[in-house]
Each structure stands twice: as structure tokens, then as C-alpha cells.
Amino acid sequence: MSALLEARAVTKFFGGGLRGRRMTAVENFSLTIASDPPSIIALVGESGSGKTTLARLFLGLVEPSEGLVLYRGANISTLSAADRQAFRRDVQVIFQDPFEAYNPFYRVDHVLETPVLNFGIAASRAEARRMIAETLRAVGLRPEETLGRYPHQLSGGQRQRIMVARALLIRPRIIIADEPVSMVDASLRATILGNLRQLHEEFGISLIYITHDLTTAYQISQNIIVLYRGMIAEAGDAEHVVRDPKHPYTQLLIGSIPYPDPHRHWKGEAAPSAEGALSSDHGCRFASRCPSAMAVCRDSVPPMFRTGAHRGSACYLYRDGEVVPAADLGAVLVQGDGAV
């Protein structure tokens, strides 16, 4: 098992000039994505949880304030030209907004042809066309209805699937998908998630699936990492995290999901709102909203405690468990291709 992409004790804060308040988006986050076996891991959090900042850190679009992001063991901000080329091929991204990912002046062919030619994936233009057509079919699009069109002539779902096709065309090792289906209609959402899973199964591509939606995270991933204000609240096997959430925040999240069943009502009372509940920098970030907060929660940040073979929860309710060091998150994740 070799580490393909690795975040090592990464912290990222924004602001904090002479007078500004420093905003910590990600704090002491470590995660290793192995190239073999391929995995699907979901980073789940609400707005402000730092999930998109994590995606940008992994892509090298922002530099960590502290810690390192490594690609095959090398710091991605100081890669050599050849390594950078390999990194850009191996790590692909699908963004949330399929409208903004295109240059409106080019036909959609452009976003597909450019990487094929740049990375020398096809020997000739004709071969490139053939590969593009094949890939479009693989994500359920008809090439004759898609190619030669401008982005505005396609629907959001079509555009997002072209982005999936583009990621697939390059045959990367990892796809970082940042809310790939949140702007797509329900009937297409399942199709696109299916496409992503298919990439994982058929081509052995690892996936970092970043979302606010625990339901789709549960559908697609082996492991779920729940983030709250830049820190990991709970991590582990998707099945366990969703079925039997341990961290009070995960419980709140799962309790708030509207079930598509009129006989299954939201459980309990709506939780006290986050309004005005400023998270302190000392203790657990969730303490001010937490129904079971104790004195210790306000004084120090809880480490991750092991709550099962494949799960851990950063909550003092579970302080009897063994402490999992932040650098060793992998210890609570399911390893290998535990096919869903």
C-alpha cells in the first residue's frame, strides 16, 4: 500500500492580518489515500465545515498554513515539472457547478479534447474523437447529441456528465468530486453517482466524495468522515456511521434528514440553532450546540476515541475508548475495496 495522496497535519486558516480575525477552515487534518486498493471516501459536512477547502488543498489550489499535502511522498507545492504533469493527470476534479466549469465561447468538445491532446493520451485527432465518443457513451450520453454544442445548449445534468466523462477520459488515479450532484435533478443524481461508482469499480479509480448530503455519501462510499467547523467529528465505516451515529453532531445531522416517507417523521425536537453559538477555540467546536456537553468539552478539544473496530468519534462521551492519534485516521477506516 503506497500513499498516492496524503494530507499530513494540515491546518488552513484565512484572514488574520494585523487586526482581522483568523478563521480556521481546516485544523490538523490527516488523511492518506492509497493508490492500491482504490477506495471511496466521503467527506461530509455543512457549509463552513471546511470540506471545500480540503478539496482545494488536495488539488494544490490553496497552500496549507501548516502541515503538508503530499503526492507520492512529495510536497505538491514544490513538485518538479514532470511530477506536476503526472499529478495533474492522476488527480482530477469534478466541481459542484456544471455551469461555471466551462468556457462559454468554446464548444464542449474543447474540454474533452484539450486534456487528451495535452497528456498525449491519443496518438491522433481521429483516435481522440473515437475515445471521446466512447467515454461519453460510458456516462450515458449520446456523442452525436453532445459534441459540437456549446455549453448553454446542454442541460445541467448533461454538462455535469461531460465533466465526469472528462475525468474518466484522463484515466486518473483519484477523482476529487466536490458536491458533484448537488445542482443536478433527482432523476439524474442517481445516474451520475452510478457513473462515479462505475469508474471506481471498472477502472480502479479512488474517489474523494465531498458533500453535505449524508444520504448520497452513504450510498456511494465505504468510509465517511464527518466534519464540523474544520475538525473531524466522526469517522469510520459508512454503514456504522449512518446506522448508529455516535457523535452528537452526526446524530443531529442524521435526525435532520427529511425521509422520503410521510410515516417517518423527523425525530424529536428541532435542535437548538447554531445562531449566536460561537464556537470557542479552546474546547470542542460543537460544545455550544451539543445537548450532552460537559465541562471538559469547553476546556479542551477532544481527540478521536475509538468507538468500534472501524470507527472513531471525537467526543468526550467516548473517552473510555482508545485514543486514535490524528495522524493515524486510517486506523479507524475500512481498508481495501470493501465493495458496497
Q: State the Cα–Cα distance between residues 195 and 87, nearest whole angstrom.
A: 23
Q: Which is nearer to other proteins, 116 or 141 (CB)?
A: 141
Q: Is the dihedral of CA 61, 63, 69, 75 positive or negative?
A: positive
C-alpha cell at 181: 450532484
Exposure string of 211-234, with b = 16+ CB inside 10 Å and e = fewer, is bebbebbbbbbbbbbbbbbbbbbb
Q: Which of 23, 68, 74, 274 contacts other proteins by CB under 8 A?
A: 274
Q: How many residues bind other proteins (CB under 8 A)?
A: 48
* Contact set for other proteins, span 14-33 (CB under 8 A): none
Torsion of CA 323, 329, 334, 339, to 10 degrees: 160
State in angstroms the smallest separation of the CB of 8 from other proteins: 29
Q: Is 137 helix (H, G, I), strand (E, B) or coil?
A: helix
Does position 189 bind other proteins by CB under 8 A? yes
Q: State the Cα–Cα distance between residues 327 and 309, nearest whole angstrom.
A: 17
* Contact set for other proteins, span 62-121 (CB under 8 A): none
User: Could you write out the DSSP letters of every residue in 95-130?
Assistant: -S-TTTTS-TTS-THHHHHHHHHHTT-SSSHHHHHH
* Contact set for other proteins, span 205-234 (CB under 8 A): 212-216, 218-219
State in angstroms the smallest separation of the CB of 267 from other proteins: 10
Angle made by CA atoms 122, 173, 227, in degrees to the nearest 5: 140
Does position 261 bind other proteins by CB under 8 A? yes
Element (H, E) at 14: strand 3-14
Q: Which of 124, 275, 295, 320 contacts other proteins by CB under 8 A?
A: 275
Q: Which of 1, 61, 117, 190 contacts other proteins by CB under 8 A?
A: 190
User: Taking CB under 8 A as the rule, which mask of x and - marks residues 321-340 in contact with other proteins?
Assistant: -------------------x
Region of 35-43, 80-88, 192-200, 295-303 interacting with other proteins (CB under 8 A): 192-200
Phi first, then psi: give them for residue 76, nearest 5 degrees.
Answer: -70, -15
Region of 17-25, 105-113, 256-264, 321-329 interacting with other proteins (CB under 8 A): 256-264
State in angstroms the smallest separation of the CB of 221 from other proteins: 9
Closest CA to 58 of 39, 16, 30: 30
State in angstroms the smallest separation of the CB of 216 from other proteins: 5
State in angstroms the smallest separation of the CB of 199 from other proteins: 13
Q: Which residues form the interface with other proteins (CB under 8 A)?
A: 46-47, 140, 155-158, 185-194, 197, 212-216, 218-219, 238-239, 242, 252-254, 256-266, 270-271, 273-275, 340
